[in-house]
Amino acid sequence: FLFSMRLLGLVTTLVIVLGVAYCNDDKEYTNIYAVRVLPETDVHALAARHQMTFKRRTFHDENLVLFEAPHADHDPKFHLSSSITWFERQWLVEMHRRDFSPSEFSDPNYVNEAQYHLRDDQFENDINVVPVWANNLFGDGILVCIIDDGIDPLSSDINVGQKYVTAASYDFIEDDNDPTPQGTDDHGAACAGLVGAASDNGFCGVGVAPNANIGGVNLIGGAYLASEEAEALNLALDQVHIYSNSWGPADDGNLYPVTASTTEDAFVNGVTNGRGGLGAIYVWAGGNGRESSDNSNYENYANSRYTIAVGAIERQSGQFSSYSEAGANLVVVAPSNGGFDSITTSGVGSDCLDNFGGTSAACPIVAGVVALVLEANPNLGWRDVQGVLINSAFRNDPLNADWSTNGAGLEVNHNYGFGRVDAEQAVAMAETWTNLEGEESVDSGTISVNTPIPDNDINNPVVSTFDVTEAITVEYVDIYFNANDHTYGGDLVVTLTSPSGTESRLAESRSLAVTYDNWRFGSVRHWGESSDGEWSLSVADEIGDDTGNFVSWRIVFHGVRECTSQQFRDGNGICQDCVDCATCSGTATNCESCNDPLVLSNNACIAACPAGTFNNN
């Protein structure tokens, strides 16, 4: 039994322990005694008999009471009372609080707040991770693979204990198991430090998940085979939890599909078979091409529904960094460089970098948060991780005009996705999260339009609608857009609108001769909305001199099917039809109501009431 009180700013505790009442030791004894009495004992009279004061009964045992002596030398003579079966004089004990103070990390660039993405008492645009550490979550047991230009296994922040995992590392450029970067390459090493740099080693800084295990891949440190991209994305799939990817095609506003079909296959295999069937997590940098009119939706890596696209914000304003691309596919943002501030992280060997940034930095920061989330709840599926991040994000830059509320009540912004990643809220949500039901898809098929797009007339778009009758609770929407005869696709502005009025701006005009030939756009902005109702795709031409047609489009919804009253959800989360009943639950024959002339009896529909019963309808 513990009884706490405050004394001189310290926590002191009365501890009841079976033992000898009087000992010559170094304990700081008090005048309070723990006394066990027989049931029905008049404890007030008993205390008076021994010239003591009754304090109270203990919370866990009403027959264990506390008596206080008038002074330290008082002899209670408890042995003279037959109603007392045991007693012990109490002493003071000091215990240490097991909370976490930010100053406890000794790493110099954490202490001086150079790592403002972790803790920023000045501008408060950090990822709110300190409370997670206070709950003793540091990424233990989570393996993050950094796919990049390699990492340094001997880095001062990675070569710690068993942190580095050889089995989750490879160099596709040199074709060996050593991912050490070539020459001056340190991009991947910086990403590794942001995810999992060790704490309290007196070096550089701290990772978001300092106890996470790290693997590294050198894929982009040189030219690689197209098939090797897929190999990297599935490397050690039976061990890796998270793949962090701070790379992609050129950020120049052109359209870039995935390198090869094997890459798409690798994504599917990863989310299907990774983490024992729960799905590997792919975190992806959203792109740095805003100043080149690029959009994160112009490449099929960051806009894949299998990836978590991450944008970047500046420290001081909390607004998007000047380079960070917008996109309907963005999930969250994280702090990075911008203005006068840059990210500090460990690099190769004993290097400590103070000039890192881009969405390249934001991506591994989010990967680190995901590591904490998975430590808190390792049973989350890959879609559940997305849901946790989406529902727990913080609305940064609240005055930005692009914020809107979607049909499910979630605030979303093309510049920020659902907001700045919030580690504390994400972990708290993960701990009580109910996993999503099995994923299903609804495909419209090709919708032919074949209508000329008025040239240089942004206010006169061609609008095509499609009425969805199958109800899916939407998680992600893929839109395949075809205007392949337009002579200058960069003129076009393409917008998807849901039945609830939520808009996904898929493409904006830019001075590039791109061709939309069944180009796949992606949008996560409709998360939680119902697919049921009329969806529209609007296409307008904003720049003169070039013309063409809105040829066709196709829309595919991914999410959880909304079961009708005539359906039940099976063990895989899939809606199945009732068998004999009008409405059912649990199983096909677990009837809740019946079609005439059948009658309900013990959750089954039968032709007539059994003998001795009557129809109460």
Which tokens sit at 559? 């999410």
Residue 342: pLDDT band (50, 70, 90) is: very high
Please name the amino acid found at residue 515. T
135-to-119, 372, 425, 492 alpha-carbon distances in Å: 16, 11, 13, 50
Instruction: Provide the total of helices (H) and of strands (E) in the chain, helices listed first.
Output: 9, 32
Q: 600 and 472 in one domain?
A: no
| List 360, 504, 531, 552, catalytic entry | 360
Amino acid identity, residue 41? T
- The Cα–Cα gap between 340 and 11 comes to 44
pLDDT value at residue 7: 26
Q: What is the pLDDT of residue 98?
A: 36
Check which CATH number belongs to the domain holding 451 and give it. Answer: 2.60.120.260
Residue tagged active-site, from 107, 148, 294, 491: 148
Q: Per-residue pLDDT for 20 more than 50? A: no
pLDDT of 337 > 50? The answer is yes
Asked if residue 482 is part of any domain, the answer here is yes
Catalytic residue, chosen from 50, 187, 241, 486, is: 187
Helix (H) or strand (E) holding 481: strand 472-482
pLDDT, the chain, mean: 91
**Which residues constitute the domain of residue 468?**
440-561
Rg, Å, the chain Cα set: 32
Report the number of distinct structural domains present in the chain.
4
Q: For residue 103, tell me if it sits in a domain.
A: no
Q: Which of 89, 58, 64 is nearest to 75 (CA)?
A: 89
Name residue 601's beta-bridge partners: 604
189, 317: one domain? yes
* Residue 543 contacts residue 491 (beta carbons within 8 Å): yes
Q: Is-contact 171 146, C-beta < 8 A? A: no
Query: What's at 188, amino acid-wise?
Result: G
* Axis crossing angle, helix 423-432 with helix 359-376, rounded to the nearest 10: 30
The Cα-based distances of 494 to 55, 143, 521 in angstroms read 76, 39, 10
The predicted pLDDT at position 6 comes to 28
* Residues 148/247, Cβ–Cβ less than 8 Å: yes
Whether residue 52 contacts residue 119, with contact meaning beta carbons closer than 8 Å, is answered with no
What are the Cα distances from residue 493, in Å, to 42, 93, 505, 516, 543? 86, 70, 8, 12, 10
Q: What percent of the chain has pLDDT over 70?
A: 94
Tell me the per-residue pLDDT of 96-133, one tens digit each, with 9 for 90 and over: 433 344 446 878 999 888 999 999 999 999 999 999 99
Tokens of 197: 């740099």
pLDDT tens track for 370-390: 999 999 999 999 999 999 999
Domain presence at residue 384 = yes
Q: Which of 259, 246, 255, 98 is nearest to 186 (CA)?
A: 246
Same domain, 145 and 207: yes
Residue 244 near residue 301, CB atoms below 8 Å: no
Q: What is the per-residue pLDDT for 474?
A: 98
Q: Is the pLDDT of residue 614 over 80?
A: no
Please determine, for residue 154, whether its predicted confidence score (pLDDT) is greater than 80: yes
Contacts with 112 (C-beta within 8 Å, 6 or more apart), sequence order: none
- Choosing from 389, 416, 432, the residue where a domain stops is 432
Question: Is residue 617, in this structure, part of any structural domain at all?
Answer: no
427 and 504 in a single domain? The answer is no
In a domain, 68, yes or no: yes
428 with 450, same domain: the answer is no
Q: Are 241 and 143 spatial neighbours (Cβ–Cβ below 8 Å)?
A: yes
446 plus 381 within the same structural domain:
no
For the record, the structure tokens of 352 come out as 């400590």
600 and 547: one domain? no
For residues 425 and 536, state if they share a domain: no
The domain boundary, picked from 59, 94, 129, lies at 94
**Tell me, what CATH number does 251's domain have?**
3.40.50.200
Orientation angle between helical segments 359-376 and 382-392, nearest 10 degrees: 110
Domain boundary among the residues 94, 124, 159 is at 94
In a domain, 104, yes or no: no
22-36, 193-207, 589-603, range with the lowest pLDDT: 22-36
Are 417 and 332 within 8 A, CB to CB?
yes
Q: Examine the domain organization and report whether 390 and 463 are in the same domain.
A: no
575 part of a folded domain? yes
Residue from 311, 281, 264 nearest 478 by CA: 264
- In this prediction, residue 59 carries a pLDDT of 59
Distance of CA 189 to the CA centre of its chain: 23
Integer Cα distance of 62 and 17 in angstroms: 17
Mean pLDDT of 577-589: 84
Tell me, yes or no, if 107 is annotated catalytic: no
Dist CA 578 CA 548 (whole Å): 49
Contact 408, 330 (CB under 8 A): no
Q: For 446-491, write each residue's pLDDT tens digit.
A: 999 999 999 999 999 999 999 999 999 999 999 999 999 999 999 9
CA distance linking residue 331 with residue 286, whole number of Å: 9
Q: Is 360 a catalytic residue?
A: yes
Q: Which two tokens stand for residue 531?
A: 């697919």
Same domain, 285 and 362: yes
> Domain of 49: which CATH number?
3.30.70
Give me the mean pLDDT over the 313-337 stretch.
97
- Are 589 and 526 within one domain? no
| The token pair that represents 370 in the structure block | 């995901």
Q: Tell me, yes or no, whether 407 and 445 share the same domain.
A: no
pLDDT of 25 reads 65
* % the chain with pLDDT above 90: 79
The DSSP code for 411 is E
Looking at the domain assignment, is residue 459 inside a domain? yes
Read off the pLDDT of each residue in 584-597 and give the average, rounded to a whole number: 86
Active site residue 187: yes
